[in-house]
């Protein structure tokens, strides 16, 4: 059965509360080691771009 316009309007008015988590703690920035972060990023990039075979390596170079 098709819902009436009033029922649809009532459903639109129902809102779901949004829970926002805030992190006001600035300690995270103090704990970050930029050199280790850069090394980790390089390892991640290398693992993605690392050729799996010579054929793939040849294709990438062309």
User: Where does the chain have alpha helices with state H?
Assistant: 5-13, 27-31, 34-49, 54-61
Q: Which residue has the tokens 């059965």?
A: 1
Supply the pLDDT for residue 29.
60
Q: Which pLDDT tens digits describe the chain residue by residue (62 residues)? A: 555 666 666 656 666 777 777 766 666 566 778 899 999 988 888 777 766 666 666 766 66
- pLDDT for 45 equals 81
Q: What angle do CA 20, 26, 30 make, to 5 degrees?
A: 140
Look up the pTM and report it: 0.34
């Amino acid at each position: 059965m098709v819902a009436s316009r009033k029922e649809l309007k009532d459903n639109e008015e129902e809102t779901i509360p949004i829970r926002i988590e805030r992190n006001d703690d600035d300690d995270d920035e103090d704990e970050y080691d930029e050199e280790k972060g850069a090394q980790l990023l390089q390892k991640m990039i290398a693992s993605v771009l690392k050729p799996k075979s010579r054929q793939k390596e040849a294709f990438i170079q062309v």
